[in-house]
Amino acid sequence: MNERSTGQRRTLLLHGATLLGGLAAGGVSAGWPRTALAQGAPAAVQRVTVKDAAQQLAGGGWILMMRHEQTVPGVGDPPNFSLDDCATQRNLSDAGRARARRAGEAMRAAGLVPAVVRAGRWCRVRETAELAFGRFETWTALDSFFGQSERAGAHRERVIDFARSYAGSGHAMLVTHQVNITGALEVYPEMGEVIAARLEQGTLRARLRFVPGAD
């Protein structure tokens, strides 16, 4: 597949994900199929448990992209929200905060502790990272571009450049939004889901997916 076709496919995925995301509170409703999002994906992404993920990722050096945990009802953010004021944004629900804590506990219990944790500037993303991992570095490449799919390519390239330069023996955890993960990996994640990817032929390929904070 040539570069133009790949770019067109990724744009369709982003538009489809944005459309579906607008039909439910922060994600796709249970009644909507995701086949449109999966069409043309480079390979099936294996669903695994946290323990299985820890075993398969034992070699280190993977890029883990995590969508923020469950939020209060809504899509995107309220009009005129501010990144400097969490009260103006759509934030985690109490259930989402509990799941973020469980996610960190489950990953630590499985021995899956990231060496690096980065997060976007949105409060729901930073809070997910803080509750799950207790630390993070803010990185604007993980900021949402919801409703602005023309920015997807730039965000994706920054993530891929990071993956190319990452030399850590452990894993890098990138906590972000659905649109960022779909744009980078062509996968639609649930809230709180982690997608494990690695560099293959110069680009990131999603290989595993798991939800560490699930009940």
130-169: pLDDT as tens digits? 999 999 999 999 999 988 888 889 999 999 999 999 988 8
The better pLDDT of the pair 60, 8 is held by 60
Residue type, 137: E
Q: In this predicted structure, what is the pLDDT of residue 151? A: 87
Cross-strand partners of 65: 174, 195
pLDDT over threshold 50, residue 40? no
Mean pLDDT of 103-123: 98
Q: In this predicted structure, what is the pLDDT of residue 20? A: 46
| Exposure string for 105-119, b = 16+ CB within 10 A, e = fewer | ebbeebebebebbbb
Cross-strand partners of 63: 172, 197
Mean pLDDT of 43-64: 93
Q: What percent of the chain has pLDDT over 70?
A: 80
Cross-strand partners of 116: 172
pLDDT over threshold 50, residue 112? yes
Name the phi and psi angles at 199, rounded to 5: -75, 130
Q: Where are the alpha helices (DSSP H) in 2-140?
A: 3-21, 35-38, 50-56, 94-109, 123-133
For residue 191, name the pLDDT band (cuts at 50, 70, 90).
Answer: very high
Taken in order of first residue, the domains within the chain and their CATH numbers are 3-210 (3.40.50.1240)
